Structure 1
Amino acid sequence: MDHSESPLAVVARHQASLPVNLDAIARDLGIPVQFRPLGEGVAGLIMRTGAPPSNFQILINSTEHPNRQRFTLAHELAHFILHRDLIDSNITDDTMYRSDMSNYIEVQANKMAADILMPWRLVRKYNEKYNGNVEDLSRLFAVSKAAMQIRLDGLSA
């Protein structure tokens, strides 16, 4: 990551095309990502490593559905962006995106994960183009139908 560029600017730069390239975001933030089996009930984790450039690493459960893996990666990137100063050794998120951190912190990470994967401006644009077809939109954004439906419901809120 160019240290003059904020993590949010890195994210925004990679939201120009769909689906959002999470691997490129992690790479540009200097965070190695590994996909491997993590055990029953563990979706992913972010841990402090002390290794430059970011001093963090993300692990994603490779046995989960690819859309789930994408949301988990976005969720762990959100922890890095929002909460990296709070991470002592690691944050392990279960499949319901609960951890030892407070519920508020997990809600923040979930919201930012949705913002990363499904930027509002692109959701609005493609929602019109695809007439609100959840299946087409979820495929375009590479997210689950449930995640896309929640996002679309937010348009009218």
Structure 2
Amino acid sequence: MFVTSGCLRSYHLDENGFQYIQQFAPEGWWIADMYSFITQNAGHLYIDAVFDSEIILISKVTLEKLYLEIPKLNYYFRILSENSLVTYQTRAMDNARLSAKDRYEKFCQRYPTLIDIIAQKQVASYIGVTPEFLSKMLKAESLSKS
């Protein structure tokens, strides 16, 4: 899916219904459950709109036809896939080794247009902390800057 306006998010749920947000996709970004798209099996991720959004959907069959008709599109999607793989690998390593504060700063770098418009609960889910912890961390940060 390509987001032409608005913002989407992808996430999975644990056995208690807790959401683990994997990605936000603001305007101009791509988002997909790649497992589902590539294998054509049921997906593992939920994707929904954070706010009103418009998207362009493309099926795997249509994309394969376009690859044959427009070879440069094949190259474009390969680069997108490679960049996505690097991003997910980096994020997995960051989640394992960085502090919550550093993960929050990475979130702000990756999604500068979303910092002030995404609910703190969703930001907390993305960086892997509780909303209460994020709130306390941000409050302590703002106090230390005063």
**TM-score, normalization by structure 1:** 0.30
Instruction: Say which one has the larger Rg.
Output: 2
Give the structure with the larger strand fraction: 2
**TM-score, normalization by structure 2:** 0.31
